Amino acid sequence: MSTAADTPLHARSLRTLAAQLRAREFSAVELAQHFLQRIDAHRALGAFLATDPEVTLAQARAADARLADGTAGPLEGVPLAHKDIFVTRDFPSTAGSKMLAGYCSPFDATVVRRLAEAGMVTLGKLNCDEFAMGSANENSAFGPVRNPWNASRVPGGSSGGSAAAVAAGLTPAATGTDTGGSIRQPAAFCGITGIKPTYGRASRYGMIAFASSLDQAGPMARSAEDCALLLSALCGPDPDRDSTSLDVPAEDFTRNLGASLEGLRIGVPDEFFGPGLSDDVRAAVEAALRELEQLGARRVRISLPRTELSIPVYYIIAPAEASSNLSRFDGVKFGHRAAQYDDLLDMYKKTRSEGFGDEVKRRIMIGTYVLSHGYYDAYYLQAQKIRRLIADDFQRAFEQCDVIAGPVAPTVAWALGGHGNDPLADYLADIFTLPASLAGLPGMSVPAGFGESGLPVGLQLIGNYFQEARLLNVAHRLQQATDHHLRRPEGF
């Protein structure tokens, strides 16, 4: 039987790394150096946008000092990396956009600060779709991210850099954000675990805004246990900085791990298993559901009848909020400014034309249109009404079940450039993740096996509000019975 000492450092769990750091089996500096070397060796993945060894090693030395004097936090000295949608004082914050190239924030996002207070050491900033708009991480102004399982495939988006870095063992954990599935879908495509908590559980302060009523931070790691440790550190109310932060105390999300699944009702929506679902994804998800049944859970057939409407609803509401949030990027106070212009209006036009990529411009235009006079009632207001109906569908479903399960995406990761110039193809790939986002529910992706060409498949678990601990336990029990989350891409 293998032991922790036989497992490479970059394949060990957060709990193991934290325990070994406390036991002084190695130092935080040695651990940070190990990951920095791996990052340098795998730059071709495109996962990292910024590293600064001096900053990282200074944080590691401070962690070693706290470990030595007994003031260590629960994850003291354990490294992680942040999606470049969170602002950080010590690293540039670009949101994957030319508009913010080289921007350095004077403060840390609340999520960044809380994880630092838990003792974690920052390795750097991770690539993402520009302003978190995308499903493939091909929209970054600084180049695409490649999937470690197959470098010709996308890693998913918008948190593709986070997912790829964890899957490749460049960091043991990462932060991500989920607006319409941007934690769950890349986690599925890269064979790792990721969770989006209930909307408002994690502070949005310092998260560069895309769609404020949807954006939510969450952790990405190899296992459900690792995600539970991270979520316990990053969640909690932030009333002085984020008006959408919920007044719900932080909690220990590891508390239920290992609990029996006997009698647990797992709702399986008919709409998640229609003709658009590929055979290989269907087979892997079915196998995972059977495994949960063997662990004592009971499958319940349910319906989420407005699933298909989630796509038009999301792609009205999210662009509308984006058009408002991104109006601040005008070249006046910070960010990119056009080098040559005639007057203020010309400066606005040229700055935004040069600074934003095609997908961001597309969503700003859609959002501006649906909010304009004469179209607000017909589009935006109607979308908000249907959003409420989608949330009501979930509440009716939860009268019949405890947890909802199904695929994360209709297919495995597609080829880089595979959707060409067809943005609708990317939008349709979000059909299974959008409903939970619109309802503000917690959802997660758990490795469920492998499909076409040996590419990972994710099982999506959706819970009722504030049921993150239950979701994490279901995922943990599945991972105790399977080894999908332990497998690593060849060469990593």
Whether residue 198 contacts residue 441, with contact meaning beta carbons closer than 8 Å, is answered with yes
CA–chain centroid gap for 402, Å, is 23
350 is catalytic: no
| Annotated catalytic residue, options 158, 162, 203, 437 | 158
Residues with Cβ within 8 Å of residue 294, at least 6 apart in sequence = 481
Cβ atoms within 10 Å, residue 345: 9
Peptide bond into 445 cis (omega under 30): no
| Annotated catalytic residue, options 182, 203, 232, 310 | 182
| Annotated catalytic residue, options 13, 83, 125, 323 | 83
Residues with Cβ within 8 Å of residue 74, at least 6 apart in sequence = 18, 118, 119, 229, 232, 233
Whether residue 472 contacts residue 228, with contact meaning beta carbons closer than 8 Å, is answered with yes
Which of 50, 47, 79, 86 lies closest to 202, judged by CA?
Answer: 86
Phi, psi of 419 (to 5 degrees): -95, 0
303 is catalytic: no
125 is catalytic: no
Residue burial 20-53, b: 16+ Cβ < 10 Å; e: rest: bbeeeeebbbebbbebbebbeebeebbbbbbbbb
Cβ atoms within 10 Å, residue 444: 31
Phi, psi of 314 (to 5 degrees): -65, -45
Whether residue 216 contacts residue 204, with contact meaning beta carbons closer than 8 Å, is answered with yes
Which of 312, 372, 420 lies closest to 364, judged by CA?
Answer: 372
Positions annotated as catalytic residues are 83, 158, 182
